[in-house]
């Protein structure tokens, strides 16, 4: 087995510009779509939708739709998704320690 394969698998699940950021915000609990969008203002609606779909497809998050008008949709980490918390928190810690003061989020 290729020694880099587990890293490749991990990055396929959480790689990209926004997935880790979305996961970080979900560590504090369930969020609605617009709530996530407000927390990650630089992401477009289209990309947020795609990233959430991929995370759901991979079993990292759960999507719950309430039968209301207008529809209410909530996202939360799955049990599998919570296993990524140490990685997400390590990314945050590294950023806290190394982010330049003038960096714009």
Q: What is the DSSP annotation of 6-72?
A: HHHHHHHHH-SSSHHHHHHHHTT--EEHHHHHHHSTTS-HHHHHHHHHHHHHTTSEEEEEE--SS-E
Fold of 6-94: Arc Repressor Mutant, subunit A (1.10.10)
pLDDT band at 19 (very low <50, low <70, confident <90, very high): very high
What pTM was estimated for this model as a whole? 0.90
pLDDT band at 1 (very low <50, low <70, confident <90, very high): low
- Burial of residue 102 (CB within 10 Å: 0-12, 13-18, 19+) is exposed
pLDDT in tens, 75-90: 999 999 999 999 999 9
- Sketch the domain layout of the chain as residue ranges: 6-94
Q: Does residue 72 contact residue 65 with C-beta atoms inside 8 Å?
A: yes
């Amino acid at each position: 087995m290729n020694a880099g394969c587990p890293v490749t698998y991990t990055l396929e699940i959480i790689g990209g510009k926004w997935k880790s950021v979305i996961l970080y915000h979900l560590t504090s609990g369930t969020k609605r779509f617009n709530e996530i969008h407000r927390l990650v203002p630089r992401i477009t609606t289209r990309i947020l939708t795609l990233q959430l779909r991929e995370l759901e497809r991979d079993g990292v998050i759960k999507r719950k739709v309430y039968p209301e008008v207008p529809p209410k949709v909530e996202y939360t980490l799955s049990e599998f998704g919570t296993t990524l918390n140490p990685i997400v928190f390590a990314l945050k810690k590294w950023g806290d320690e190394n982010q330049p003061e003038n960096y714009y989020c």
